[in-house]
Homo-oligomer: A and B are copies of this chain.
Amino acid sequence: MTETVLSSSTREVVIGFERPFVIIGERINPTGRSKLAEEMRNGNFDTVVSDAIAQVEAGAHMLDVNAGIPLADEPAILAEAIQLVQSVTDVPLCIDSSIVDALEAGLGVYEGKALVNSVTGEEERLESVLPLVARHGAAVVAITNDENGISEDPDERFEIARKIVERAAEHGIPKEDILIDPLVMPIGAIGSAGRQVFRLVRRLREELGVNSTCGASNISFGLPNRHGLNAAFLPMAIASGLTSAITSPLHEEVRSAIKAADVMMGNDAHCATWIAGQGDTPGAAQRGRRGGREGRRRAPA
């Protein structure tokens, strides 16, 4: 079985077909959060730290850290954010940037085996990101678009995934260290977006034998009751073969759906996690958030 191992200096997380689904917390990302962007630009990481703690307390197994702020010194900000997050939580991190220098700065300060987010099928990106991933012994998220953009045909996206896996092998990166991102489009705009993902992750699993991740919340963009949609999408993608997602752990509905999906896949032995979690169902998300705020007070200033 294909198992992707990520680590901090003290904790290991394993992503795999026979493992509970891995939630990578999506919150530490200034895109669309202008207040957070302003804070990070000014060297204020209070929200970064509190978001980190709140997400881990709510059940995130890993955290995505993104510092994509226009006209800011992204490499320096990303490196500082990663060091701070690693000082207050022990979960492995996903170092998220479209700027290769920022990925490099993040990897330079990271303790453990990181997940790099991301490479694509674009030639320039393949040849800049893969050597970096190989040199640091990291794992990488591979997005299934290339110079031609995003195909609506999941079989074309599959061929891009295959190309990235082959190219990574040439750089000495084993397929275990690649998480393919099938690309989740908003279903309100593209009615086949769900079926595209289900078909692609099934092929990734059955034919390439690789793990996968995705920005799951994107499926419900622009629609009402997004958590209700996300809470159905994730189990459906998991049944099709998805093994992790970059999403929010802060919503009870979504967390519960993922735990139930683990039961359904036979990946929650004796349903032990499900049964143990039923004592604290109502309001658990709220408690997680409160815990996060308290946690921030304990965090280094």
Which residues of A are at the interface with B, using a C-beta cutoff of 8 A? 187-188, 191-195, 198, 219, 223-225, 228-229, 231-233, 235-240, 256-257, 260-261, 263-266, 269-271, 274-275, 278, 281
Contact = CB atoms under 8 A, between A and B. Distances in A.
B225 A264 contact: no
Given A232-B235, A236-B235, A236-B261, A187 B225 contact: no
Given A224-B275, A225-B278, A278-B224, A266 B235 contact: no
A184 B278 CA distance: 23
A264 B199 CA distance: 12
Given A219-B264, A236-B239, 6 more contacts: A187-B264, A191-B266, A229-B274, A232-B260, A233-B260, A237-B239
A258 to B, nearest CB: 8
B278 A239 contact: no
A270 to B, nearest CB: 8
Complex copy number for this chain: 2
A269 B192 CA distance: 11
23 contacts: A187-B263, A187-B264, A187-B271, A191-B269, A194-B239, A194-B263, A194-B264, A194-B265, A194-B266, A195-B264, A223-B271, A223-B275, A224-B274, A224-B278, A225-B256, A225-B274, A228-B281, A229-B263, A231-B231, A232-B264, A235-B236, A236-B236, A240-B240
B275 A260 contact: no
Contacts of A238: 236
Contacts of A281: 225, 228
A218 B278 CA distance: 19
Nearest to A187: B263
Main secondary structure of the interface of A (DSSP, over half): helix
A280 to B, nearest CB: 11
Contacts of A187: 263-264, 266, 271
A126 B269 CA distance: 38
A232 B219 contact: no
A195 B266 contact: yes
Contacts of A224: 274-275, 278
Nearest to A278: B224
B260 A231 contact: yes
A224 to B, nearest CB: 4
Contact of A195 (B192, B265, B274): B265
B278 A188 contact: no
Nearest to A240: B239
Contact of A260 (B229, B237, B263, B266): B229
Nearest to A192: B266
A61 B231 CA distance: 23
Contacts of A270: 191
A128 to B, nearest CB: 35
